[in-house]
Structure 1
């Protein structure tokens, strides 16, 4: 069957003739049916059997060049990244800030309009594929697991020591007055900005894939805007950009997890070789430890990816959830549970009240020391986070799209934006609040806040529990870190192969899974050894720029898709794949 065409501007109605759907054009009806077929060429034999070579080969070349550049030209790579950090990233800071604000607003509009919110991601009346409990479990594991363990103490403590209010001199660093603004900025970075970014990518893909039958890949989300042109060069470019952004975004996440994993192994006595003394006498992961950790973690994730989503990711997600809630309960009971709950209430209120202003805030450098410090703070935190979420969005969005079939748009957005945000807030206040309470009371004496971010959670446990119990719990955290790292890398490899396979997640994938597993390991390892987290951060922010343009177009595309489907429903024109294929061209009264 020939595709009826992309979403088109409504035209004047003329009498409908009873003709097969493949002979119908937009002149017959107020609006044409949606595009329900997008042809993407894939190879039918050999090494690239089932893959789009126009996507897979360029993506592999770009990622390989980044790795080779870091390994064989480390000095040039670091100098280039430093220049990029002071020029390119600063120039695009406003773009990142305003884009994420636009994405949050778009989600709010999609939820608020009753007719849009009731549309289903799939045929009308279809039941969701997964229960809500399993759905939330997979959302939790794929999107926030590693971050919760690294940043639940790390970010509140960082803002407790330095935030815009401290920079302006209105409050004192590491004082009781610094706690509320510390959590205001923590919630800003882990709240709706992150999850609305993920939600829009997942909705843009899932809506056209599950409702209209288009392929489950990034380019399909732009079909409502560009139609069948997405099957050609433009579509190939979109998918290549998405693959590269995914590899860089996941690499940044894995880098934090690997460092914390090594710190945990060192804490529970796996050997002094794991850590070496860095600048300022601070212990950091040794190069050997990074290599060993990557071999173990990425090797396990590659094996998991080879087993497929049904057994690998779902099984690990269930383990993640059980261990995560066990750790959270520990902090609620033996940590500063009451202090954390109080923080939860005040910080959530502060976040909601200040969300519009904070979302649009953009610091400018007027030449003063204070203004320069504010700009540096925003580039190092807010802009970094928005770029991170955008780079991470193809991976998380594709994964969410795969598991969200059958849900309404309202249920989907509220579930994706609210529930994980709430879980982030609970983690940050109970775990991070305990660390801050220990510092405020003088019990910690700076041993937590002055520790490297990768070690702050373990330092908190060491003060909170007796040595034997702390060692056991730290061991469980190491296991939890391992499962989260494996789950994230596992999911990323499968999603990259799905994009390369034009939405198909079946077929011969073994050698390509091995390639992307090795690519993740080499990107993380080479960048960590080259310049630490800073090198990966800069590379990731730059890599996110092309996909940020795609993301802006995706948000417009999904709004157009749902609005035009409402118009189709009004005029009796089909909106789903099955209805389009069986349509005789007759307009019916809704």
Structure 2
């Protein structure tokens, strides 16, 4: 790639914003500030207004979301099985920076970690009560016959499609950065389509959308995780001091927990990916295996293994209809699809700038095929195992009558407590207490990993692809995230931010479709000529 094809980000060479693009940074801060001020000042109005827009977009673009995510899955499959799969994301003889264990640990922690802690039991139990198969047949839920379809739709939302969204963005960024020598930013992925236009307003707009989406995505993750963390501590201690009379965490508990988590995440971000983020991610995976082992040994072991196998087969056999089915949003089944599948697709797309760039950052030296298999198939199977043994235990406890409706009640009333309720049902003694404490530690490390990864990604985008921006900017954005999450939790504006994030997914989904076209064009026009790869390290 000659120098005329390179993208000029326009970084400031001096002053406070030295090393950053001042336009992208300032406008992103202004947009985030205005949105937060609005939601904090008028939380009810913000939720109502953004909710109406959110509902309208999800219902109007339901077909678009279904088919665009299908495109991303097909794109990943095509890149993997085609001759282009052997291309290396970097120099032809370059070796990966991280071991397989470190690589997987970081991708899993950033991509799904805290979400699985929150929904691994709750979602199967929710779909156990109602899902499209039950709606179509008119059958009653919450019985053994409802389990296969409950798991089918749970795996749909946490499987290949979710990771394909992340990998589409990550693969495009890694390819253009490490193979074509462009900056590791979102705008670089569109270079074959727009060329020099990305040097100005168009490129700035793409990166601003990515910064805002990443900030809102990390904020929603932190909000949900901090809430679950406080619920877990209260469940163990039973002090009553951390929870209000209505069952919600107190403001003091939320803010103190948030401050501790964000302090740890900022320290981790300052040490960089190769040290703090990698080490914490490895701790995450080890603790996750311990928690999974507890459910395998003391939960519904045989039921979990059977559920994993049968659900995997059922998911595979139904993959095509699950991928392409679109129902009228005005029907009951269409309303369910809009509230769950379409919402999830928009959710994963909203997270794609963050997780995709992070995957690209840690995957230099991998081949395209290795990247797709490692970042789509492997974590999908890990998610399935997690859902089968944790979610399967919850299902079995309800079906056997041991739970007596306690888990379903927690799912419907306070999903943040579901994990701890289930552990207590399995073992209410010393072992159960140890596992609950380990779960709290795991939630903390997942939260810290999500936040520090988010801080690094935000700074990488604003620094024009520089993955090691100045420490002061990492500290500042750690503080910004703390203020955003804290103010929203206190004002009850987290729901509005979640809706704003989903709304923001629509324009970024268009960027992702263009990424597929752009990378395909580059592969067909440059790699087929076996252009030598001699780009320098980013």
TM-score of the superposition, structure 1-length normalised? Answer: 0.87
Structure with a larger share of its residues in helix: 2
Which of 359, 365, 376 is the matching residue for 1:400?
A: 359
The aligned runs of 1:423-438 (5 Å cut-off) are 423-438=382-397
Contact 2:329 2:335 in 1 (8 A): no
1:111 and 1:353, CA in 2 relative to 1: closer, same or farther beyond 3 A?
same
Quote the Cα distance in structure 1 between the aligned partners of 2:253 and 2:382.
31
Question: 2:110 is matched with which residue: 139, 142, 149?
Answer: 142
Give the CA RMSD over aligned residues.
Answer: 1.9
Within 5 Å, which residues of 2 pair with 1:449-464? Answer: 449-451=408-410, 452-464=414-426
CA–CA distance in structure 2, aligned partners of residues 116 and 161 of structure 1: 44
Hey, what's the Cα distance between the residues in 2 that align with 1:266 and 1:185? 32
- Structure 2 runs not aligned, ≥5 long: none
Alignment of 1:282-321 (within 5 A): 283-321=247-285
Matched, 1:76 2:76: no
Residue 212 of structure 2 corresponds to which residue in structure 1? 244
Q: Structure 1: any 5+ residue segments left out of the alignment?
A: 6-36, 580-590
User: Does 1:493 pair with 2:455?
Assistant: yes
Please, which of 85, 88, 105 is the counterpart of residue 117 of structure 1? Answer: 85
> How far does the alpha carbon of each residue in 1:67-89 deviate from its partner, in whole angstroms, 9 at most, with x for none?
11111222331221232233233
Contact 1:195 1:416 (8 Å CA) reproduced: yes
CA contact 1:528–1:536 (8 Å) conserved in 2:
no
Confirm or deny that 1:538 pairs with 2:499: yes
Q: Does 1:162 align with 2:120?
A: no
The within-5 A match list for 1:377-388 is 377-388=336-347
Query: Are the equivalent residues in 2 in contact too, given 1:528–1:535 (CA < 8 A)?
Result: no
1:87 corresponding residue in structure 2: 56
Shift of 1:350: 1.3
1:205 alignment partner in structure 2: 173
Q: Deviations over 1:212-261 (max 9, x none)?
A: 22111111111122223222211111100111111112222222211211
Are residue 550 (structure 1) and residue 519 (structure 2) matched? no
Could you say if the C-alpha distance between residues 520 and 95 of structure 1 is closer, same or farther in structure 2, counting changes exceeding 3 Å? farther
CA shift for structure 1 position 154? 1.0
The aligned residue for residue 474 of structure 1 is 436
* 1:376 corresponds to 2:335: yes
Q: Can you list the C-alpha shifts for 1:90-139, whole angstroms capped at 9, x where unaligned?
A: 222222221111100111111121x2111111111222221212211111
Q: Aligned equivalents of 1:241 and 1:144: distance in 2?
A: 22
Displacement, 1:382? 0.9
Residue in 2 that maps onto 1:446: 405
Tell me which residue corresponds to 1:27.
Answer: none
C-alpha displacement of 1:291: 2.0
Partner Cα distance (1:196, 1:40) in 2 = 28
Aligned partners of 1:116 and 1:563 also within 8 Å: no
Q: Which residue of 2 aligns with 1:8?
A: none
SS of the equivalent of 2:244 reads: strand
The more displaced of 166-175 and 394-403 is: 166-175
Structure 2 CA distance for partners of 1:506 and 1:466, relative to 1, 3 Å = closer
8 Å CA contact retained: 1:497, 1:509 = no
Query: Is the 8 Å Cα contact of residues 231 and 417 (structure 2) preserved in structure 1?
Result: yes
Instruction: Write out per-residue CA displacement over residues 284-331 of structure 1, whole angstroms, 9 at most, x where no aligned residue.
Output: 323332222222212221222122222210111111111110111111
- Answer whether contact 1:64 1:519 (CA < 8 A) is retained: no
Match of 2:368 in 1: 409
Output the CA distance in 2 between the equivalents of 1:420 and 1:513. Answer: 28
Distance (whole Å) between structure 1 residues aligned to residue 55 and residue 492 of structure 2: 16
Q: Which moved more, 1:284-293 or 1:333-342?
A: 284-293
Q: Which SS does the other structure have where 2:14 is aligned?
A: coil
Provide the rounded CA distance (Å) in 1 between the counterparts of 2:312 and 2:385: 10
Equivalent residue runs for 1:250-269 within 5 Å: 250-269=218-237
Number of residue pairs aligned between Structure 1 and Structure 2: 534
Q: For 1:284, what is the secondary structure of its paired residue?
A: coil
Hey, what does 1:62 align to over in structure 2?
31
Aligned with residue 358 of structure 1, among 306, 314, 322: 322
Question: Which of residues 15, 23, 46 in structure 2 aligns to 1:46?
Answer: 15
The Cα shift of 1:169 comes to 4.5
